[in-house]
Structures are given as C-alpha cells and as structure tokens.
Amino acid sequence: MRHLHPVRARSLGVVLSALAFGAYLMLATVPAQAAVTCSYDAVNRQVNIDATAPGDRPIVGRAPNGDIVFDDDGNLAGASPCGTATVNNTDGIDIDDLSGGSIEVTIDLQDGPLGPGETPEGSGISEIEIDVAFDSNGVFDDLVIGGSSDDDTIVVDDG
C-alpha cells in the first residue's frame, strides 16, 4: 500500500478545502429564484400568477391607487404591482399552482374590491373573475379570502 508523504497529504487537504470553500461561495452568490411570478397580458386583460414551489403563499389584492398587486409571502406588505394591471383595465385573474406540492393562495380585499374590471358582462356590469387552479397532486392546498371592513359579497363556484 502506498502512503502519501505528510507534506503532500496536507497540500492535498488544503487544495480540497479551498475547492470546497470556492464552490460554497459560488453557490451562496446565486440569487434565489422567485417562486411566485405575476404578469399582465394587456391584450386579454388578464393577470397571470404562477406559484412554482411547494409552500408558496401567493397573495393578490388591490393597492389604494387601484393597481393590482401581488406578493409571495401571504401578506401584501411590500407587495409589487403586477405589470400595468389595475382594477379598471383587467377582466380576469388566473392563479395557477405549478408547485407539485401544497400552497396557500390568499385573495385580499382589505383595500377594496378587485373590480370593477374593464369589460361589461352580459348584465351590463363589469367584474373581474378570479380563477384558482390548484394542481391535482393529491396534497391539501388552502384558499384564503380576506374581506374588507364593509359588507362583502363573495361567490365561490367550482366551474
């Protein structure tokens, strides 16, 4: 059996330690990818929110100025506008669970309704439909609807 000379063994250990530390530094500087994204499709007047990681907590709501905002931590503190979407130029909000795991979706009406929307419906009144599509992986997901301080009418349909 061949043995490394003690000086070579130490040198090899130092080189391996330096390589491991360098790899750690490179991985530590890679920015975390956002797990919840939001985009606005102005042609179709549609907000699209995608949750891509298990444990995501996408939230959508209205800013006081009427912008449609979103965040990824279950509350709207520090929320970002979803492109140029507002409650006046949007007809639908589509929230998709692409995570492969459990997520919690929150619709926050604290700063007012997600409406009126841009295009009048058959009744002549415009509205913004919200479609939440949980994946079919068999895990339990949550839908939380936070109402305002006023009387709210919330209709939930599985269609």
At 62-102, the pLDDT tens digits run: 999 999 999 999 899 999 999 999 999 999 999 999 988 89
- pTM of the predicted protein model: 0.75
Q: Provide the pLDDT for residue 7.
A: 52
Q: Provide the pLDDT for residue 31.
A: 41
- How far is 121 from 126, CA to CA, in rounded Å? 5
Does residue 108 surpass a pLDDT of 60?
yes
- How far is 47 from 33, CA to CA, in rounded Å? 20
pLDDT in tens, 25-59: 444 444 445 589 999 999 999 999 999 999 999 99
